[in-house]
Amino acid sequence: MYLKTLYFGLISVLLITSCKQVSQDQALKQDIEVSTNKGLKDWSDLPIGGAINISKVLKDSKLDSITHTNFNSITATNDMKMYALVEHDSIPDFTNVDRLVAYTQKHDMRLFGHALVWYYNVPEWITNMTNKKGAAWADAYLKKYITTVLTRYKDDVVAWDVVNEAFADKSGEFRDEFWFNTFGKDYIEKAFRYAHDADPDAKLFYNDFGHERHPEKLNGIVAMVNDLVKRDVPIHGIGLQMHLEMDTTEKAIANALKLAASTGLLIHISELDIIFNTRDENAKDKPKITTLTHDMEMAQAEKFKQVVMLYRKHVPKTQQFGITFWDFNDRDTWIKPFYDLKEWPTIFDENLDPKPGYYGFLDGLTTGLENATE
């Protein structure tokens, strides 16, 4: 094992990688080797997760290595979603999920299930059958689907995003989509009860995005969660996706964490990445950023540091379910194809080498909380 100290402006991190100290610029000009013996998870007292496509991981030895070295929790990006399991008919195809289970068991990782009910890409055959047979058929199928999936993986998956993104993008109103149009908001309670009946030991989460940028949305989510808890609906946690933009303030992040934690439930930063451009359609005239500079990398490193420090500061230890990176490398990130942007939102670059953000995040895991800024 070797020691190397990397500096990012005011960020100073001790890592096991080299026998001498190197400057910030020197470190950025060379491939930075991550110790094969230590990764992010080994510096952390909270779970550190990565979202993966299992097929890509199994075909790429470098991706495989950084995955099991750095993370002790795994989420499937798409392989456990309804459209992946029952795309064409009601008989689930569990091939990729079984491979995920085998992978996480091999490396002693937690497997987090994502997501049982989501509005996006509901299989067309389900909408067609509902149009023909009505809400009663959809209710029966939803129960059968959730029961089948959770029963199969009851000993393998510790927690689930039961409902994903039920609220509109920027408000506290429920999203106008298939599940809501079929059942009203009752579909959320149904899904949680069906999941709990199938696996009483699993931790069940509601997951969504934009809490930090749209307080009215977070208020709506927290009100819904508190209502579910009050009525003894089995919900155990809130997933804050945290698809952040560089101009998202630390104060906004802290406020989202504090309000979510006020529910007393487990809090999971579930899909962390940080972009330089904006997703706001109202800012179409804002010039797109197409080149990554040294200063941008340093600023992003500080942002990753602050996110983990704010999580540690504002979420009580007993409520810390962990932090998960979504597509944790710039090569595979969902951001670029989905938004048609040239972006660098993660902690590994396109060559799967660690970026300054990796070390900024690591610094945030180990730095005293008095240095959290908000």
| Catalytic residue set | 271
Structure tokens at 272: 């962390």
Dihedral sign (CA 8, 13, 18, 21): positive
**Unique residue bearing structure tokens 């058929």:** 137
What is the CA 295 to chain-centroid distance, rounded?
26
Cβ neighbourhood burial of 348 (10 Å; 0-12, 13-18, 19+): buried
CA distances for 368 relative to 209, 267, 309, 314, 316, angstroms: 28, 21, 8, 13, 15
Residues 6+ apart with CB under 8 A from 15: 3, 4, 5, 6, 35, 38, 359, 362
**Cα gap 27→13, rounded to integer Å:** 12
CA distances for 187 relative to 113, 136, 183, angstroms: 19, 12, 5
Structure tokens at 246: 């560089």
Which amino acid belongs to residue 14? L
DSSP 9-55: TTEEEEESS-SS---HHHHHHS--PPPSS--GGGG-SS-EEEEE-HH
